[in-house]
Amino acid sequence: MKITFLIHNVYGIGGTIRTTLNLAAALAERHEVTVVSMLRHRARPRFAVDPRVRIVPLVDLREDAGDAADPRLRRPAEVFPGAERRHKQYSVLTDVRAQEYLRTSDADVLIGTRPGINVYLARFGPPGALRIAQEHLTHDTHTKKLRTQLARHYRDLDAVVTTTEADAAVYRRKMRLPGVPVLAVPNSVPDPGLPLDGERAPVIAAAGRLVRAKRFDLLIEAFAPLAAAHPDWRLRIYGTGADRERLRRLIEEQGLRGRAELMGPVSPIEGEFVKASIVASASDAESFGMTLVEAMRCGTPVVSTDCPLGPAEIITDGVDGRLTPVGDKAALAAALGELIADEAARRTMGRAAARTAAERYDPAQVARAYEELFTALAGTRRSRAWRRRTARWRTGAGRALRRLRG
């Protein structure tokens, strides 16, 4: 089977890139897999790419590339939806290249990995291929305008796949897609290949984009009383982003210089997680929670806010980690303090976390779930097409009747 993923920019850094490459590598065990990158800005991807996976860039943004002189690169995209967050990075040239590639694709399965790309898939994907939209954000994070645009195009696809069951339920409730199943398949995280039973430093680690929604400020404030009570413990935050300077000032204000540190971006992050005793997340919202699973695969217990939508589907509170109410600094500090004070509990939770992550999120397991989906979609193609046609007929008839009544 030929399987093609379409991604924004495989040459960058991000959770969608990481999980797409993980899944592509797992599927490459039995299939011919291609990753099509809408954009390219450097010579090689930052993440390791399985040699069995072919990378195909469509628009090269490098100054010495021929695309840099194409006037279509400076004209705003007309097909890529204007309400999509990445619209400014897309152009008429991207529209044209996406259309050319998809119209001539011989893939059996095409998988888009962000809303605007899924619109390309609906508009230009060959009807003989299974066309699947992945949702790496969430339904409710999109604007109303974008959701309206997506609903119109997603009706032409074969399936919509979210990363959590909670988000799949929102799509089923709020976006009517006759003949298009909406289901949840989690992101995959591979075995880090690191020893999990070594010595752990008295460190609480956290990682992610330094933006307000990640609430690293709450984590720093929750750590302040713990730092006073446990002088050998440290907080290390990995990542980069617009909130870095504000967080640096907060560390100073809390008297945590040398105790709480902004470490900058590190990839892969597992090498740091496996040395830490606890990994923490204080986010207000998560579409999935990749860092949680990465930490669990390292045998490191996670303390996370029980935010929408991912953590509660990943962590079993008190078994392989802890969940605390969103925005509750005292509860976050208490959960961290309990684990700091109990090494045996940390190790027990860490072992349980490693088992959970291996059973649910190993790339081979997730790849099997996708293979089962492909088989199911191929077997129901005719019945789903009939449901779509019937729904469209009813919609058209309803509109005609309303016009007559008017």
Give me the domain span that covers residue 95.
2-188+369-395
What pLDDT was estimated at residue 287? 86
What pLDDT was estimated at residue 179? 92
Length of the chain (residues): 406
**Looking up tokens 């349980």, which residue turns up?**
352
What pLDDT was estimated at residue 394? 67
222 within a domain of the structure (yes/no): yes
256 within a domain of the structure (yes/no): yes
Assess whether 265 and 378 both reside in one domain. no
Section 366-391 average pLDDT:
90
- What is the C-alpha separation between 301 and 277, in angstroms, rounded? 7
**Predicted confidence (pLDDT) at residue 406 exceeds the cutoff of 90:** no
- Percentage of the chain beyond pLDDT 90 is 87
Predicted TM-score (pTM) of this structure? 0.89
Count the domains in the chain.
Answer: 2
- What is the C-alpha separation between 162 and 137, in angstroms, rounded? 8
Assess whether 130 and 78 both reside in one domain. yes
- Collapsed DSSP state (helix, strand, coil) of residue 178: coil
Assess whether 129 and 217 both reside in one domain. no
Assess whether 231 and 349 both reside in one domain. yes
Residue 313, φ and ψ in degrees, nearest 5:
-85, -15
Residue 21 — pLDDT band, cuts 50, 70, 90? Answer: very high
CB atoms within 10 A of CB 313: 17
pLDDT tens, position by position, 97-125: 999 999 999 999 999 999 999 999 999 99
Assess whether 129 and 277 both reside in one domain. no
- What is the C-alpha separation between 320 and 377, in angstroms, rounded? 35
What pLDDT was estimated at residue 172? 96
Assess whether 169 and 313 both reside in one domain. no
pLDDT tens, position by position, 270-289: 999 999 999 999 999 988 88
Assess whether 161 and 223 both reside in one domain. no
Q: Indicate the pairing of strand 234-238 with strand 203-207.
A: parallel
Assess whether 62 and 129 both reside in one domain. yes
At 142, which CATH number?
A: 3.40.50.2000
pLDDT tens, position by position, 193-241: 999 988 899 999 999 999 999 999 999 999 999 999 999 999 999 999 9
- Given a contact cutoff of 8 angstroms between Cβ atoms, the answer to whether 275 and 300 are in contact is no
- Given a contact cutoff of 8 angstroms between Cβ atoms, the answer to whether 353 and 318 are in contact is no
Assess whether 176 and 228 both reside in one domain. no
Assess whether 384 and 349 both reside in one domain. no
Assess whether 171 and 225 both reside in one domain. no
- What is the C-alpha separation between 138 and 85, in angstroms, rounded? 13
Section 60-72 average pLDDT:
94
